[in-house]
């Protein structure tokens, strides 16, 4: 069996998966049908959970240096305050998808990952030992596993015979990156009229992103996407085209919401838009794809390297399919809340009142930023299955942060109180002894006594009496090795770890 993994698609999802696999020592080939990077940007922002992952790998600064933090998000155009998100990144980082992809590709290249452009996957044949991948030019090669990160119209999904049920489009949205002779005084975001809504955003000096949503029309698939069509739509909704000219890019999208029935079929796995499509409300698609890749990366690496049974891969579906489902759900809700009409206006007014309440704001901000994701690992503890925040720690060598200890994927990090027995670590794991977690200096208001149960998937608190004692002593152990019986266990991890996702 080949020890190589193949990834179809060099978008954000495929690139992050490639980085995670390489970091864990897996040979990986990334294939993309395009001749090179298109430079086009659909997404324009990174949410807190994605920034936390990048921090866990030590590369967040590269993204922060280029992006612009905005301390608000939105739910169907109703503002959400992100400033109180319990993270070091209480904002959405405004950064074009093209720049995100460029930075990810540079990062991947540092591990020797090269994207094979002009390599369209056209055939996939699975056997007990591996996957034979065929390309449009007739070339073929073997891989142990194939990850389909090839976007919403995923060929891999189709070839693997994975169903893609959901709801069809009910609206037409157009997007153009254009120059404007007569721009509005300040940015316009989701301004509503009886014909739909429009936005005019000064994304970069010299050009604007113009978006329209027509709620009463579903474009035929073969309808040409032109700047003239965008102009017509804008004039109809906004009453002016703002002197639009010199388009860099024009695109169309809709609110079809579909999700792959299985995120894994044998040796084929799906991630990102290949696993689900939805309306881009709230800017969640790219972020969700990256977080899929993070969840899948260490698991696939552990299986390929023989450190875990294949059944570990089923936990990828078990943990991430519900997350994808929830994104579809909330984007459908946002679309419903966006339709023109007096009933929706009334509903929005009620909703705006609710969002002004702290608890509602926190709940929606947690959902859009994905900080509130909780994997279904049982109810033994309210924090089981949740992400671990970036705690300040005082370790043997001085002050550090938890995320700093996780810079290498594919390794276990076992953290224990220095006052107890020395932390254990096996194989490639790393053991860190800490004398305290000065929660007062932490931005998360996390009482040190709750640290014990702040978990990643696969962590399990010990039986309650012992957990209570461990909590008081302050012991954190993570990156557990999946037990041979298939379910992730709670201790001893030779390879899989830094389990951020």
Binding site for ligand FAD (CB under 6 A): 8-14, 31-34, 42-45, 97, 120-121, 149-151, 155, 175, 253, 272-273, 280, 283-287, 289
Four-residue CA torsion sign, 233, 43, 14, 100: positive
- The smaller minimum CB distance to ligand FAD, of residues 284 and 455, is found at 284
The residue among 392, 458, 395, 384 whose CA lies nearest residue 423 is 395
- The smaller minimum CB distance to ligand FAD, of residues 8 and 395, is found at 8
Contact partners, residue 303, CB within 8 Å, separation at least 6: 145, 309, 310, 312, 313
Supply the minimum distance, in Å, between the C-beta of residue 234 and ligand FAD.
15
- The smaller minimum CB distance to ligand FAD, of residues 319 and 392, is found at 319
* 92: helix, strand or coil: strand
Q: Dig out the tokens for 56 from the structure.
A: 């866990």
- The smaller minimum CB distance to ligand FAD, of residues 175 and 493, is found at 175
- The smaller minimum CB distance to ligand FAD, of residues 173 and 413, is found at 173
Specify burial of residue 217 (Cβ count, 10 A radius: 0-12, 13-18, 19+). Answer: exposed
Supply the minimum distance, in Å, between the C-beta of residue 10 and ligand FAD.
5
- The smaller minimum CB distance to ligand FAD, of residues 67 and 280, is found at 280
Cβ atoms < 10 Å from Cβ of 380: 15
In angstroms, the Cα distances linking 105 to 17, 100, 154, 304 are 11, 9, 21, 23
d(Cα 114, Cα 32) in Å, to the nearest integer? 11
Supply the minimum distance, in Å, between the C-beta of residue 149 and ligand FAD.
5
Supply the minimum distance, in Å, between the C-beta of residue 279 and ligand FAD.
9
Supply the minimum distance, in Å, between the C-beta of residue 293 and ligand FAD.
8
Supply the minimum distance, in Å, between the C-beta of residue 409 and ligand FAD.
18
189-206 burial: b if 16+ Cβ within 10 Å, else e: eeebeebbbbbbeeeeee
Contact partners, residue 109, CB within 8 Å, separation at least 6: none
- The smaller minimum CB distance to ligand FAD, of residues 86 and 285, is found at 285
- The smaller minimum CB distance to ligand FAD, of residues 156 and 395, is found at 156
Supply the minimum distance, in Å, between the C-beta of residue 386 and ligand FAD.
21
d(Cα 136, Cα 358) in Å, to the nearest integer? 53
Supply the minimum distance, in Å, between the C-beta of residue 494 and ligand FAD.
30
Which residues on adjacent β-strands are paired with residue 167? 257
Show the DSSP H helices in 32-183 as ranges.
48-56, 60-66, 97-110, 155-159
């Amino acid at each position: 069996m080949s020890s190589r993994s193949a990834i179809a698609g060099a978008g954000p999802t495929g690139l992050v998966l490639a980085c995670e696999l390489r970091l864990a020592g897996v040979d990986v080939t990334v294939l993309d049908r395009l001749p090179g990077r298109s430079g086009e940007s659909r997404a324009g922002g990174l949410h807190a959970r994605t920034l936390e992952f990048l921090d866990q790998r030590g590369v967040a600064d590269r993204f922060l240096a280029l992006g612009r933090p905005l301390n608000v998000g939105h739910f169907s155009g109703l503002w959400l305050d992100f400033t109180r998100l319990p993270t070091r990144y209480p904002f959405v980082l405004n950064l074009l998808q093209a720049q995100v992809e460029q930075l990810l590709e540079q990062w991947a290249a540092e591990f020797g990952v090269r994207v094979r452009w002009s390599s369209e996957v056209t055939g996939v044949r699975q056997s007990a030992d591996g996957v034979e991948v065929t390309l449009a030019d007739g070339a073929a090669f073997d891989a142990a596993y194939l990850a389909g990160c090839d976007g919403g119209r995923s060929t891999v999904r189709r070839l693997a015979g994975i169903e893609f049920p959901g709801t069809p489009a009910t609206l037409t949205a157009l997007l153009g990156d254009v120059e404007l002779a007569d721009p509005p005084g300040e940015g316009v975001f989701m301004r509503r009229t009886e014909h739909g809504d429009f936005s005019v955003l000064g994304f970069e000096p010299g050009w604007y992103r113009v978006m329209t949503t027509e709620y009463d029309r579903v474009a035929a698939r073969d309808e040409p996407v032109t700047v003239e069509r965008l102009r017509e739509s804008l004039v109809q909704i906004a009453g002016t085209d703002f002197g639009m000219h010199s388009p860099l890019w024009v695109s169309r999208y809709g609110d079809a919401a579909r999700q792959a029935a299985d995120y894994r079929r044998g040796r084929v796995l799906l991630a990102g838009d290949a696993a689900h499509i939805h309306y881009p409300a709230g800017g969640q698609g790219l972020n969700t794809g990256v977080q899929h890749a993070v969840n899948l990366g260490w698991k696939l690496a552990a299986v390929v390297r023989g450190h875990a049974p294949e059944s570990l891969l089923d936990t990828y579906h078990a943990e991430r399919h519900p997350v994808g489902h929830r994104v579809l759900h909330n984007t459908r809700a946002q679309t419903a809340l966006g339709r023109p009409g007096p009933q929706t206006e009334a509903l929005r007014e009620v909703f705006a009142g609710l969002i002004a309440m702290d608890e509602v704001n926190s709940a929606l901000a947690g959902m859009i930023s994905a900080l509130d994701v909780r994997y279904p690992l049982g109810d033994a503890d309210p924090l089981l299955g949740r992400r671990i925040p970036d705690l300040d720690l005082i370790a043997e060598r001085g002050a550090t942060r938890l995320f700093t200890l996780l810079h290498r994927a594919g390794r276990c990090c076992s953290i224990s109180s220095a006052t107890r027995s020395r932390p254990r670590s096996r194989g490639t794991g790393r053991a860190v002894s800490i004398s305290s977690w000065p929660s007062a200096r932490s931005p998360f208001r996390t009482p040190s006594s709750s640290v014990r149960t702040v978990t990643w998937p696969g962590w399990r608190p010990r039986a309650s009496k012992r957990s209570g004692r461990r909590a008081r002593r302050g012991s954190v152990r993570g990156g557990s090795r999946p037990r041979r019986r298939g379910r992730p266990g709670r201790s001893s991890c030779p390879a899989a770890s830094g389990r951020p996702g």
